[in-house]
């Protein structure tokens, strides 16, 4: 079956080069103290240094985390103490209080999927105890609380630009004292731009979308062979600047309607799929800029495989906690890791693409579909897909080596 490929990452239209540049960039890019690195983890590492954190200091970190932020802090030399989340994915106040010792310096909060934590409340809580508040808005660029941007409540805030716009990379940080400008060599970012353009084509044309969908499992298998499961947490060079293409394209892609468009798409999916949404994400706050739409099921990996047949690439995000987390002590965060996956909600989706997503989820989670085997496609179809995949993997690897 031919299907447009719809993924959670924003794509990059081919005509972006002819667009006018926006004269006003959103927070934190419009703040003189803002620094942009290649990735948010670099921004976190640098913020730890400008906040003056060191080996004697403890940061309280949520058990539900990506892993790269934890690795960045550990690499910056600070100690981590994990705290529990409530069932609404807020920091568990009682647990936080029980973790306080004189060497605790920072409360680290994460604005999950663009849904804001009550940052004002946590700032007050920190002020009352002489702590610093670190806001992780990696998934919440453009999210506001009462018209005030997240990331501006704390003593430091970090953001991922490429999660909201189809630029190759970009991790911004705002902190009490701005870090020095990143000093390593600037990369062009051409390969990632190409991939984002290709994704844009795959989102619009079913023939390209199907080709992409059929080659992805092979690529994943190929990558898995080469890497360990925690590789995605690696810090890399913390002085990496954003790529040249990110800085060139960012002013052309930012748009004051982005958050509202994402919210509109979220409401659309909420209307159709509300019964599958985990409780913390069942009501969208007014100023949120949702990064993705969460769906909770019993067997997330198998539903994700089925979704691919309808052209929808969801992700089981944050499946692996950072290895330093004693997972058995945090069953709630592990339940989210195992049961919740994310589907696209980005600003460029059309009504027909949103319908494709909603129908795909309904079909993939319907009882009739659940009974079918995921690998139930006939063998000739599989062989055709395999040949296509091999061709694309070779092509992909050749390009990778050239860049
Ligand atoms: C909550 C959170 N913080 C930090 C990061 C690190 O972002 P980056 O991959 O840009 O370093 C991520 C990445 O997904 C994240 O989800």
DSSP string covering 173-189: EEESSPPPPP-SPPP--
Q: Among 204, 197, 268, 167, which residue's Cα sits nearest to residue 5?
A: 204
pLDDT number for residue 231:
85
Categorize the per-residue pLDDT at 378 as very low, low, confident or very high, splitting at 50, 70 and 90: very low
pLDDT number for residue 4:
92
CA-CA-CA-CA dihedral for 5, 317, 145, 59, to nearest 10: -150
Which sign does the torsion angle of CA 113, 301, 345, 270 carry?
negative
| Residue 133: Cβ-neighbour burial (10 angstroms; 0-12, 13-18, 19+) | buried
CATH code of the domain occupying 19-175: 3.40.640.10
Categorize the per-residue pLDDT at 393 as very low, low, confident or very high, splitting at 50, 70 and 90: very low
Convert 223-239 into a string of H (helix), E (strand) and C (coil): HHHHCCCCHHHCCCCCC
- Average per-residue pLDDT in the chain? 91
Taking the CA of residue 43 as reference, the ligand 1 atom at the shortest distance is 11
The pLDDT of residue 389 is above 80:
no
Taking the CA of residue 169 as reference, the ligand 1 atom at the shortest distance is 10
Q: Among 169, 166, 240, which residue's Cα sits nearest to residue 200?
A: 166
What element of type H or E holds 105?
strand 104-110
Distance 61 CA to ligand 1 centre (A): 14
pLDDT number for residue 396:
45
Query: Measured between alpha carbons, how far is 307 from 30 in angstroms, rounded to an integer?
Result: 39
Distance 271 CA to ligand 1 centre (A): 29
pLDDT number for residue 45:
98
Distance 142 CA to ligand 1 centre (A): 16
What distance separates the 2 farthest-apart alpha carbons in the chain?
66
Distance 72 CA to ligand 1 centre (A): 10
What element of type H or E holds 144?
strand 144-145
Distance 386 CA to ligand 1 centre (A): 33
What is the SS3 assignment for 61? strand
The pLDDT of residue 391 is above 60:
no
Distance 277 CA to ligand 1 centre (A): 22
Residue of 41, 113, 182, 239 to test ligand 1 pocket, by largest number of atoms within 8 Å of CB = 41
What element of type H or E holds 353?
helix 351-365
At 7, phi and psi to the nearest 5? -120, 165
Distance 175 CA to ligand 1 centre (A): 17
Residue of 9, 42, 68, 167 to test ligand 1 pocket, by largest number of atoms within 8 Å of CB = 68
Q: Among 226, 250, 162, which residue's Cα sits nearest to residue 199?
A: 162
At 372, phi and psi to the nearest 5? -75, 150
Query: Measured between alpha carbons, how far is 311 from 210 in angstroms, rounded to an integer?
Result: 7
pLDDT number for residue 399:
42
101: Cβ–Cβ under 8 A, 6 or more apart, which residues?
58
The two structure tokens encoding residue 249: 């394209």
Residue ranges per structural domain of the chain: 19-175
pLDDT digits 0-9 by tens, 17-32: 999 999 899 999 999 9
pLDDT digits 0-9 by tens, 344-367: 999 999 999 999 999 999 999 986
What is the SS3 assignment for 155? coil
Distance 41 CA to ligand 1 centre (A): 6
The pLDDT of residue 380 is above 70:
no
The pLDDT of residue 302 is above 90:
yes
Chain position carrying tokens 């990696």: 138
Minimal-distance CA residue to ligand 1 atom 7: 40
Higher per-residue pLDDT: 137 or 208: 137
Q: Among 198, 199, 202, 196, which residue's Cα sits nearest to residue 243?
A: 196
Q: Helices 244-253 and 190-204 meet at what angle, rounded to 10?
A: 40
Chain position carrying tokens 């620094």: 35
Taking the CA of residue 171 as reference, the ligand 1 atom at the shortest distance is 10
Distance 63 CA to ligand 1 centre (A): 15
Residue of 138, 238, 318 to test ligand 1 pocket, by largest number of atoms within 8 Å of CB = 138
**Lining residues, ligand 1, CB within 6 Å:** 39-41, 66, 68-69, 110, 136, 138-139, 160, 171
pLDDT number for residue 403:
35
Residue of 36, 37, 62, 69 to test ligand 1 pocket, by largest number of atoms within 8 Å of CB = 69
Taking the CA of residue 69 as reference, the ligand 1 atom at the shortest distance is 4
Distance 20 CA to ligand 1 centre (A): 29
Query: Measured between alpha carbons, how far is 198 from 11 in angstroms, rounded to an integer?
Result: 8
What is the SS3 assignment for 152? coil
Categorize the per-residue pLDDT at 373 as very low, low, confident or very high, splitting at 50, 70 and 90: very low
pLDDT number for residue 317:
83
Q: What sections of 176-325 are H helices per DSSP?
A: 190-204, 206-226, 244-253, 258-273, 300-309
8 Å CB contact between 43 and 171: yes
- Percent of the chain scored above 90 by pLDDT? 83
């Amino acid at each position: 079956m031919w299907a447009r490929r719809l993924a959670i990452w924003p794509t990059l239209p081919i005509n972006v080069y002819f667009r006018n540049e926006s004269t006003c960039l959103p927070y934190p890019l419009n703040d003189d103290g803002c620094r942009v690195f290649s990735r948010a983890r670099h921004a976190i590492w640098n913020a730890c240094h400008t906040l003056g954190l060191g080996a004697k200091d403890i940061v309280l970190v949520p058990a539900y985390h990506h892993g790269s932020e934890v690795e960045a802090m550990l690499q910056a030399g600070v100690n981590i103490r994990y705290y529990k989340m409530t069932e609404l994915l807020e920091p568990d106040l009682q647990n936080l209080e029980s973790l306080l010792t004189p060497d605790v310096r920072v409360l680290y909060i994460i604005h999950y999927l663009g849904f804001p934590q009550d940052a004002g409340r946590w700032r007050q809580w920190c002020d009352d105890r002489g702590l610093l508040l670190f806001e992780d808005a990696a998934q919440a660029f453009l999210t506001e609380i009462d018209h005030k941007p997240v990331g501006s409540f704390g003593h430091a805030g970090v953001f991922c630009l490429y999660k909201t716009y189809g630029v190759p990379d970009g991790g911004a940080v705002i902190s009490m004292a701005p870090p020095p400008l990143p000093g390593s060599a600037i990369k062009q970012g051409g390969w990632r731009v190409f991939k984002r353009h290709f994704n844009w084509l795959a989102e619009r044309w079913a023939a390209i979308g199907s080709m992409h969908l059929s080659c992805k499992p092979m690529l994943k298998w190929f990558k898995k062979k080469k890497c360990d499961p925690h590789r995605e947490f690696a810090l890399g060079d913390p002085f990496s600047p954003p790529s040249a293409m990110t800085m060139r394209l960012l002013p052309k892609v930012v748009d004051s309607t982005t958050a509202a468009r994402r919210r509109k798409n979220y409401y659309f999916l909420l209307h159709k799929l509300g019964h599958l949404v985990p409780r913390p994400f069942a009501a969208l706050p007014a100023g949120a800029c949702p990064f993705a739409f969460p769906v909770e099921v019993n067997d997330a990996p198998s539903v994700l495989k089925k979704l691919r047949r309808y052209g929808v690439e969801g992700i089981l995000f944050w499946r692996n906690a950072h290895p330093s987390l004693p997972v058995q002590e945090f069953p709630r965060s592990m339940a989210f890791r195992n049961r919740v996956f994310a589907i696209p909600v980005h600003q460029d989706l059309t009504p027909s693409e949103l319908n494709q997503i909603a129908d795909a989820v309904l079909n993939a989670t319907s009882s009739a579909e659940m009974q079918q085997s995921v690998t139930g496609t006939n063998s000739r179809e599989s062989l055709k897909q395999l040949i296509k995949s091999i061709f694309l993997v070779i092509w992909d690897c050749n390009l990778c080596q050239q860049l």
